[in-house]
Amino acid sequence: MKNSRNSHLLSSLPRFLEAAKVSRITQRNEIINFSIAGKTISIFAPSERTFTKILGSAFCINEEKVESDIDLVIVESQDTEFMELLNSEDSDGNLLFREYSNEQFVVIDRSWNAIYFLDRSSRLGGVWAADFGKVSLASFITPLRALLSLCIEEQGAELVHAAGIEIDKKGVMLTGPSGSGKSTLALYAALNGHGILGDDAVLVHDGKMKAIYKNAKIEKREKILNVDRHRRISLNGSGITKDILPLVDNKFNFIIESDLRAVVLPFVGNETQWKRMKKLEAIKEFMPQTTKELLGGTNQNIKNLLAIVNNFPFFTLELSEDLAKNLSALKSIAEEV
Rounded to whole angstroms, the Cα distance separating 68 from 40 reads: 5
- What is the average per-residue pLDDT within 37-47? 91
- pLDDT bucket at 65, cuts 50 / 70 / 90: low
Most confident of 34-43, 131-140, 168-177: 168-177
pLDDT in tens, 124-137: 999 998 887 777 66
Q: What pLDDT is attached to residue 5?
A: 38
How many residues would you count in the chain? 337
Strands 314-319 and 257-268: parallel
- Range list of β-strands (E), 247-289: 257-268, 273-276
Half-sphere exposure of 78 (CA within 13 A, CB side): 1
Half-sphere exposure of 70 (CA within 13 A, CB side): 24
Q: What pLDDT is attached to residue 63?
A: 57
Q: What pLDDT is attached to residue 120?
A: 93
DSSP state of 155: G
Q: Which amino acid is at 140?
A: F
Q: Is the pLDDT of residue 273 over 50?
A: yes
DSSP 3-state assignment of 71? strand
What residues contact 183, with CB distance under 8 A and at least 6 apart? 163, 199, 200, 216, 217
DSSP state of 272: -
Most confident of 234-243, 281-290, 320-329: 320-329
Q: Which amino acid is at 253?
A: N
- pLDDT bucket at 6, cuts 50 / 70 / 90: very low
In this prediction, what percent of the chain has a pLDDT beyond 70?
93
Q: Is the pLDDT of residue 239 over 70?
A: no
Q: What pLDDT is attached to residue 66?
A: 73
Contact 153, 304 (CB under 8 A): yes
Domains of the chain, by residue range, sit at 10-155, 160-336
Q: Which of 170, 110, 107 is nearest to 135 (CA)?
A: 110
Give one DSSP letter per residue of 133-146, joined into a string: GGS-GGGSSTTHHH
Q: Which of 69, 170, 72, 175 is nearest to 128 (CA)?
A: 72
How would CATH label the architecture of 160-336? 3-Layer(aba) Sandwich (3.40)
- For residues 251 and 208, the model is more confident at 208
Q: What pLDDT is attached to residue 241?
A: 79
Q: Is the pLDDT of residue 61 over 80?
A: no
Q: Which of 30, 111, 74, 50 is nearest to 236 (CA)?
A: 50
Range in 5-9, 58-62, 96-100, 325-329 with the lowest mean pLDDT: 5-9
Q: What pLDDT is attached to residue 142?
A: 67
37: left (phi over 0), alpha (psi -120 to 50) or beta: left
What residues contact 123, with CB distance under 8 A and at least 6 apart? 68, 69, 70, 71
Report CA 247 to chain centroid distance, whole Å: 16
- pLDDT bucket at 330, cuts 50 / 70 / 90: very high
- Range list of β-strands (E), the chain: 29-36, 39-46, 70-76, 98-100, 104-109, 114-119, 124-129, 158-160, 162-167, 170-175, 195-198, 202-205, 208-211, 215-219, 242-246, 257-268, 273-276, 314-319
- pLDDT bucket at 86, cuts 50 / 70 / 90: confident
Beta bridge pairs of residue 104 = 119
